[in-house]
Amino acid sequence: MVTIPLQVSEDLARRLLPMQDRLPDIIERGLRDLETEANTLQRAAVSRSAVLAALQSTGLVTVPDPAARLTPRTRHTPLQAGGPLASELIVEDRQTS
């Protein structure tokens, strides 16, 4: 058996002392839970990639390029058109109808 020195806070030490003989089991369970969680996250990432690839292969869906977010948006000034405003034309049309 291997001995591993471990430093813990006073509060954690106070909570662990009554269960000192069960520490290997507690650590084993915690480690197993962490590994399961990591595997679940990895499978979710693979599933997401597979779904995105399948959607993209249909041609019906385009997945945006992540690098596209890095380019700043160009702000365009609106065109100045002559004549009355569209809202005025709408109001006038409603009044004559």
73: its two tokens: 């948006």
Amino acid 1 reads: M
Whole-Å CA distances, 7 to 3, 4, 10, 11: 13, 10, 9, 12
- In this prediction, residue 32 has a pLDDT band, given cuts at 50, 70 and 90, of very high
Specify whether the CB–CB gap between 23 and 16 falls below 8 A: yes
Q: Could you give the CA distance from residue 53 to residue 62 in angstroms, rounded to a whole number?
A: 10
Domain boundaries, the chain: 12-63
In this predicted model, what pLDDT tens digit does every residue of 62-73 receive, in sequence order?
Answer: 877 777 667 677
Would you state the pLDDT for residue 45?
83
pTM, whole model, 2 decimals?
0.44
Q: How far apart are the first and last CA of the chain?
A: 93
- In this prediction, residue 35 has a pLDDT band, given cuts at 50, 70 and 90, of very high
